[in-house]
Homo-oligomer: A and B are copies of this chain.
Amino acid sequence: MVDWAAHAAARTSRLKPSAIREILKLTQRGDVISFAGGLPSPDLFPTTTIGAATERVLRRHGATALQYSTTEGHPPLREWVAARYANVAADDVQIVSGSQQGLDLVAKCYLDPGDAVVVAAPTYTGALRAFDPYQVRYRTVETDDDGMVPEALEAALAAGAKLLYVIPNFDNPTGTHLSLERRHAVVELAGRYGVPILEDDPYGELRFEGAELPHLRDLAPERVIHAGTFSKTLVPGFRLAWLIASPEALEPIRRAKQAADLHTSTFVQAIAVEITADGFLDEHLVKIRDHYRSQRGYLLDALDRELGGGDGFHWTRPSGGMFVWMTVPSAADGTPADTTALAHDAVAAGVAYVPGESFYPDGGGLDGLRLSYSVATPEQINTGIARLGELLRRATLRDV
């Protein structure tokens, strides 16, 4: 017999299963209204368009679309990605199998054991999972409704760091975005301390209102590795995304990608080219933004109704994306909130959220929780938030 656990590499001790996925399993019960998952709404999947595009790809390019391909990615897809950004050439684009792979490859190429990564607290749990096996340390940065607080960021960078991870637009889990002023502050500080930036932007195209703000990459192209994806705009099931950076920054990443999986599926890359060739995505984005904007409205209205009574509950009011972050006050008797403990009561009461703790690398976040409005119906939002409101008021010894 092989004792596999004893045989495992040291880095596996840092591999944790996703807390979110564990909670999602609990919510399979039909009567639980879930605000836990971050799934895009399947009603928005352009199934017919994908079918027609696949038919054309197989008819015109079957032999190449089904064959091995280059590690860098399918050239016309790299051209298309480059054209969606300012001052990006196809050589600056590396196709990856979902943003998650982009995060993994950046960590693999730029983080040695013991290196410090600066992250917001809270931050995307999947990024922490991607970085963890490289045996890194974290320096966390306090955030407010405009994202990372510059003074806190400077303190983290000054303490020594190898990489700064930022989600500038409609953050997972907070829903907030970095203001223009803060964007300039972030790249200025990173430059001053000589730290490269990994800019993760899955939600930037899901803006509901207000002017588009520049990417961090636009402000400091030589310092930033930018990650974009089709997962929230087209479909997540393709596992199709990209990194944008200078060829120098991408050079080890390309070799690491070749070692990790040779290349991303040629077939889905060719289909994505066919789908996007005629401007379809921009038309489709109008529909997606309209849908999530309405969903956000239902959720914020329900929260205002159920918990807006001045009892110290706070939540963000996102201008895009899929998430609202709530902080829960201490109970009337002073007992601090514990959203992890409450999560099980919530599921028992027929409503699910993701406890804030999942988004903190080093503990903390017990007063926070993430709510996603992406898939629930308006009725489910009203019922689910009524359940959550009652639970939270009761747990904090407020009027029920």
Q: Which residue of the partner chain B has the closest CB to A128?
A: B259
Which of A8, A111, A130 lies at the interface centre, i.e. has the most chain B CB atoms within 10 A of its CB?
A: A8
Which of A255, A256, A265 lies at the interface centre, i.e. has the most chain B CB atoms within 10 A of its CB?
A: A265
Bits for A229-249, please: 1 = Cβ < 8 Å to B, else 0: 001000111110000001011
Contacts of A26-67 to chain B: CB distance below 8 A: 39-40, 42, 45, 47-48, 50-51, 54-55, 58-59, 62-67
Bound state CA distance, A141 and B142, in angstroms? 54
Q: Which residue of the partner chain B has the closest CB to A240?
A: B265
Nearest 4 CB-CB pairs, A to B?
Answer: A237-B266, A42-B63, A15-B255, A47-B62
Using A9-B134, A54-B58, A67-B235 as known contacts, list a sample of 9 further A-B pairs with CB atoms less than 8 Å apart, ordered by residue number in A: A2-B194, A4-B248, A5-B251, A11-B108, A12-B109, A15-B252, A15-B259, A97-B239, A98-B262
Q: Once the chains bind, are A237 and B69 in contact (CB under 8 Å)?
A: yes
A258 within 8 A of B: yes
Q: Which residue of the partner chain B has the closest CB to A12?
A: B252
On chain B, the residues within 8 Å of A109 by CB distance are 8-9, 12, 15
* Chain A residues touching B, majority SS: helix
Shortest Cβ gap from A110 to chain B (Å): 6
- Chain A residues within 8 Å of chain B by Cβ, number: 82
Q: Once the chains bind, are A104 and B67 in contact (CB under 8 Å)?
A: no
A211 within 8 A of B: no
A144 within 8 A of B: no
With A51-B54, A237-B267, A267-B235 as given contacts, are A9 and B110 in contact (CB-CB < 8 Å)? yes
Contacts of A323-337 to chain B: CB distance below 8 A: none
Bound state CA distance, A194 and B2, in angstroms? 7
With A2-B196, A67-B236, A239-B265 as given contacts, are A259 and B130 in contact (CB-CB < 8 Å)? yes
Bound state CA distance, A98 and B110, in angstroms? 24
Q: Once the chains bind, are B42 and A67 in contact (CB under 8 Å)?
A: yes
A290 within 8 A of B: no
Bound state CA distance, A343 and B115, in angstroms? 42
Q: Once the chains bind, are B8 and A237 in contact (CB under 8 Å)?
A: no
Q: Once the chains bind, are B17 and A45 in contact (CB under 8 Å)?
A: no
A291 within 8 A of B: no
Which of A9, A55, A223 lies at the interface centre, i.e. has the most chain B CB atoms within 10 A of its CB?
A: A9
A268 within 8 A of B: yes
Shortest Cβ gap from A28 to chain B (Å): 12
Q: Once the chains bind, are A47 and B42 in contact (CB under 8 Å)?
A: no
Q: Once the chains bind, are A236 and B68 in contact (CB under 8 Å)?
A: yes
Shortest Cβ gap from A367 to chain B (Å): 27
Q: Once the chains bind, are A100 and B261 in contact (CB under 8 Å)?
A: yes
Bound state CA distance, A265 and B104, in angstroms? 17
A387 within 8 A of B: no
A7 within 8 A of B: yes
